[in-house]
A and B are shown apart, each in its own frame.
Chain A
Amino acid sequence: MDIIVCVKRVPDTSEADLAIDKGGKDIQKGGLDYDINDWDRFAIEEAVLIKEKTGGKVTVVTVGDEDAEEMLREGLARGADEAFLLWDESFEGSDGYATAHILAAFLKQRSYDLVLTGTLADDDCGGQFGGMLAAMLGVPVATLVHKIEVKNGSITVRRELEAGLSERLDIDLPAVVSVATGINEPRFVSIRAVRKVASIEIPTVDRGELGLDEADVGSAGAKVEIEKVFLPPEGEGAEIIAGSPADAAARLAEILKEKGGIA
């Protein structure tokens, strides 16, 4: 089975101290670490696991500039066979819709049985990419998938609903599947594996090669626009217990005792 995995490089904001930049439309990204979006790492692993069972080829692709190449190379080290970087200066400022448009143009030029991606990205928290891409390609989609069984010409997936409930669906191929974190355990990447793929060339594909107009991509091709960003006001919520960690812990123990937190 030939599988194409769409991945994204994102800043790690989960525990970082964030500040708004001067323009007021984004955060200051200077001091942040970047890595592959956590959900997409599971998508690569799932593709490689399926390939190991059924044979075929795994391709990793992203929309991003040369800084994203290292992430693609990690995908190769994880077991992908080839990688492509889709980049053109005009892609700058693409929203989820424009990004899906760029990847749809890439996919329409290739043959595939399955497209895998992560359901959510930690930067825009949109959860929209897989569904948009599938609609643009005219193929079925399932998101939040935590189990994939490959059949002949179709797959059976389990997707997460609420309160522990899942649903089982049969989906004809080709299809787009957005995976949930936890669908597998992404393998450890050894230095040896990274060295093995160091010489594989990662081609950059530009707008012209994808047959896209400037109006389709970047902020021109976007459907939504960020007007301003801001940090939610502080001071709402918890009373922060001051003092050294040990003192604060002692005070917290007293509060817990008072409020029935010690049985």
Chain B
Amino acid sequence: MKTIYVLAEHRQQHLRDTTWDALAAGRDLAQKTGAELACLLLGSGVDAMADQLAKECPKVVVVDDPRLANFNSEPFVKTLTGLLAGQDSYVLVIGNSNSIIDLAPGLSVALDAALATDCIGFEVDGGKVKALRQIYSYKVNALVSFKGASRIVATLRSGFFSFAPSGAAPGAIEKVASPLGDEPLRKRFLSYVEAEKGDVDIASADIIVAIGRGIGDEEDLSMFESLADAMGGVVACSRPIVDKGLLPKYRQVGTSGVEVKPKVYLALGISGAFQHLGGIKGNPLIVAVNKDPRAPIFRAAQYGIVANLADVVPALEEKIKELKG
């Protein structure tokens, strides 16, 4: 590979953490393949972000255009296709996020590149890059190769690449004229919308009892509410519970839901997909009950019980009440 490109992600004029994940992975890949490393920063009024990146990356390519202020995939794909036209032998790494899910697949087609999404690692074998990702409900790891492709786009799972500031000499900032033409966009950003606030703020709770798909067809949540009451905590949930209409969105823990930072997190019937775990901050004690011993939640938890919820939850509540006296 000749070049490892890192696309910087930003929102409301701030670089997002995904950018540093991608730069960490990009640095590592550049070192292992002997390629050059360059950051691509597309936005509007991005000088401060460019300076920030240049402290960590030898080259920062900047395109400044008001139509790139928000991560609208249409002008981003057009600009990146313009920037990378005619180039070969590169890997473009991008930290995965809900904006990037909108962008990367279409971009890979426009670039005629091979795509691997949500990668958790890379291997370089004889100069060839291979990606590690997770399939089948994120329970199985898969090593994928790119059939000798000379253009690769890879998006990265957050939390798997840790960035260490290098303190290296400032990199060069190269400003490139926007390749966007005058044709009107067919996809137009209108506004951001904040989530509705509810009667309970799970973000500030110290003790959380969270329920997930593993509660099965049970629609009566009183068993879990009663346990949460006994513990002095609140009931929260993962996405499938909201999808079924059993609890409101403001009770959902996860990257697209609410970020919580409790002291104790009891996960009941939650498989532990990364979108859910991404919402648990501050290193709480995580305890999981799940009937599937391979559920990813057991890799995030400190303690676990492999059993049916109905066999554990009432017994747990009873014992807690006993301990409280």
Contacts and interface: CB of A to CB of B under 8 A. Distances in A.
Interface of A: 11, 13-18, 20, 27, 42, 96-97, 100, 119, 122-132, 134-136, 139-144, 156, 158-172, 175, 180-182, 185, 222-232, 234, 236-241, 245-246, 248-250, 252-257, 259-263
B118 interface: yes
Contacts of A13: 136-137, 139-140
A178 B301 CA distance: 32
Contacts, number: 308
16 contacts: A96-B115, A125-B137, A135-B105, A142-B102, A162-B255, A163-B255, A168-B192, A169-B187, A182-B239, A182-B242, A234-B294, A237-B298, A240-B293, A249-B311, A261-B207, A262-B323
Nearest to A25: B142
B266 A168 contact: no
Given A238-B304, A241-B304, A225 B101 contact: no
Contacts of B116: 224
B193 A166 contact: yes
B319 A253 contact: yes
Contact of A181 (B99, B240, B311): B240
B97 A162 contact: yes
B30 interface: no
Nearest to B262: A261
Contact of A122 (B98, B109, B137, B259): B137
Contacts of B104: 128, 131
A249 B305 contact: yes
B137 A14 contact: yes
Interface in B123-156: 130, 133-147, 149
B175 interface: no
Most buried by A among B103, B142, B285, B302: B142
B14 interface: no
Instruction: Please provide the 3 A-B residue pairs with the shortest distance between their CB atoms, ordered closest to farther.
Output: A263-B232, A131-B105, A164-B195
Given A224-B145, A240-B306, A15 B186 contact: no
Contact of B109 (A127, A135, A140, A164): A135
B2 interface: no
Contacts of A223: 108, 114-115, 146-147, 149
Interface stretch (B37-45, B48-56, B67-75, B85-93): B67-75
B154 to A, nearest CB: 10
Contacts of A248: 305, 307, 312
A143 B192 CA distance: 16
Nearest to A248: B305
Interface of B: 11, 70, 72-74, 77, 97-99, 101-110, 114-118, 130, 133-147, 149, 186-195, 206-207, 213-214, 230-233, 239-240, 242-243, 245, 249-250, 255-259, 263-264, 266, 271, 285-289, 291-295, 298-308, 311-313, 315-316, 319-320, 322-324
A155 B316 CA distance: 50
B138 A125 contact: yes
A165 B305 CA distance: 34
Most buried by B among A18, A126, A253: A253
A82 B222 CA distance: 43
Given A142-B187, A252-B305, A27 B102 contact: no
Nearest to A259: B285
B136 A122 contact: yes
B195 A165 contact: yes
A127 B139 contact: no
B231 A262 contact: yes
A227 B143 contact: yes
B149 A249 contact: no
Contact of B144 (A225, A241, A257): A225
B7 to A, nearest CB: 15
B139 A168 contact: no
A223 B250 CA distance: 40
A227 B70 CA distance: 37
B190 A253 contact: no
A196 to B, nearest CB: 26
Contacts of B146: 223-225
B136 A18 contact: yes
Contacts of B106: 131-132, 134-135, 141
Nearest to B307: A245
Given A237-B300, A240-B304, A256 B231 contact: yes
B315 A246 contact: yes
Nearest to A186: B243
B244 to A, nearest CB: 8
Contact of A164 (B135, B231, B256): B256
A237 B247 CA distance: 29
B151 to A, nearest CB: 10
B193 A238 contact: no
B80 to A, nearest CB: 12
